[in-house]
Amino acid sequence: MSTKSHSIESWNPIGNNIVIQPAISIKPDMEFLKMASNNNQWKVSCKISGTHTEYDGCTYIGTVNSSGNYPNCRPNFFAQTGLYIITLCEYDKNSINRNKLYLSNTAHWSGYPQISNGKVEISEYKM
C-alpha cells in the first residue's frame, strides 16, 4: 500500500498514570482497512502534519483498533461513527527528528492540538 493521508477526527490521551500516549481517531476507507487487516499485528506507520504542535513531522508506529473495542467496549459509538483509533505507541527510530531530545522511544502525550487536528499519512509498518 502506498502512503495515504487521512484527516484526524480527534486526539485523546490513552494509558495509565505512568505512561500516557496520544491516540488519534480517523474515518477509514477500504484501502486502509485492507492494509491494517493484512498486518497480523495491526501496526501502521503514521506521520503527523498540520497540528502546529510538536507532533508535526514525527513518524510513529501506531496500533490500530476499532473504536467499538478500544479504549473500552463501545459498540454503539462505533456503529454511529465508524471511527478507528490509532494509538501512537512509539517513535519510528528510523525517522526521529535528531534536533529533539527523546528520553525513550515511547511516544508521549503532549496535549490536544489547539489550532487543527491535522492529518496523518498512514503506510504499512515494516519491521
Q: How, if at all, do strands 119-124 and 4-7 pair?
A: antiparallel
> Of 80 and 27, which is predicted with more confidence?
27
Structure confidence at residue 68 (pLDDT): 73
Quick: pLDDT tens for 47-73: 999 999 989 988 898 989 887 777 767
Structure confidence at residue 42 (pLDDT): 84
Residue 90 pLDDT grade (very low, low, confident, very high; cuts 50, 70, 90): confident
Question: Residue 73 and residue 48: Cα distance in Å, rounded?
Answer: 27
Cell reading at 93: 527510530
Quick: pLDDT tens for 9-57: 999 999 887 889 999 999 999 888 888 877 667 888 999 999 999 899 8
Burial 80-105 (b: 16+ CB within 10 A, else e): eeebbbbbbbbbbeeeeeeeeeeeee
Residue 41: Cβ-neighbour burial (10 angstroms; 0-12, 13-18, 19+): exposed
Structure confidence at residue 74 (pLDDT): 74
Quick: pLDDT tens for 104-125: 678 888 899 999 999 999 988 7
Q: How, if at all, do strands 59-66 and 4-7 pair?
A: unpaired
SS3 of residue 34 by DSSP: helix
